[in-house]
Chain A
Amino acid sequence: MSSDCELFRQWLPWYAAGALVDPERDQLAAHLATCAACREALARDVVLVGEVRHVLDEFPSPREEVWEAIRARTQHSSLARVDLGSFVLGISLWLVLRGRQLLLRGDLRLLGRRYPLFAEEG
């Protein structure tokens, strides 16, 4: 293994994961074209990446209860909320505590679409 190879081997796992960016990606691709040892090492890394992804894919996504728990706590942080009207035409107003600022927010709902009632501040 040449000293070039040593440098390129550091990049291999990222290349195998599709996470190496240029200019390194091009440089490594050029080296791979000429170096069988690094191609073999790449093949091993590709297998490893596949195995690790397979294992991580098995971890379940958060359950719907997790969202419910989040929602309960975001509603707690909106201090007051009023919904008036219907799907066709309605208004929602709510107070939000953000940091130490108390903000009044609101939407006009028209046929299911929402239009903010207050100009956004930067």
Chain B
Amino acid sequence: MTSDRELLDHVARGEEDALHELFRRYGGRVGRFARTLTGREDLADDVVQETFLALWNGAGSFAGRAQVSTWLLGIARNQAHAALRKEAKGARLGSVPSDLPDPREEVEHEARAARVRAALERLPAEQREVVFLAFYEGLPYRDIAETLGVPEGTVKSRMHHAKRKLMEVLS
């Protein structure tokens, strides 16, 4: 299988097939990250689109230090913030209308998942992204600190606060 790095070289040469392959590999992860950050499906689609276009235009500038996937998530994050700024003038960045769990939900597991989702969406955006990158992407806190451009201590403290709120709905 062609490596991500090779695909990126092909993208830098203007080969659309290579971009399509990266979209197949990472579109889902970028989309879920965008959905996590923006809280909205329609905005998430826009963010995915802008992210892969930024990749198309900027593939030649990839420094090669991070993994391609981490780099993509970094681009997606910038695009998500830009989309939210453009979208919600006056609204708090990344504050999300959450689907409150339906009390009639029959299956306990589904009810719990709904509670977790609502709690996740109520988290401040900067905590939500740390949770996503650690729990879903499995990124070490150092990599997260680098991706977000904040000190490691900040990453750990955001996780601490996020965890406390998420734990409440599990108990």
Contacts and interface: CB of A to CB of B under 8 A. Distances in A.
B141 interface: yes
Given A51-B113, A60-B31, A21 B140 contact: yes
Contacts of B140: 14, 19-21
- Contact residues on B (Cβ < 8 Å of other chain), bracket: 35 or more
Interface string A50-69: 01111111111111001101
Interface string B55-68: 01100100000000
Given A19-B140, A51-B170, A98-B57, A67 B134 contact: no
Contacts, number: 122
Contacts of A20: 140
A73 B116 contact: no
Interface in B22-64: 23, 27-28, 30-32, 35-36, 41, 44-45, 48-49, 52-53, 56-57, 60
A77 interface: yes
B28 A55 contact: no
Say what secondary structure dominates the interface of chain B: helix
Contacts of B159: 10, 13
- Contact residues on A (Cβ < 8 Å of other chain), bracket: 35 or more
B73 interface: no
B85 interface: no
B27 A55 contact: no
A52 B166 contact: yes
In the A-B complex, the 5 residue pairs with the smallest Cβ-Cβ separation, listed nearest first, are: A61-B28, A96-B14, A62-B31, A19-B138, A59-B32
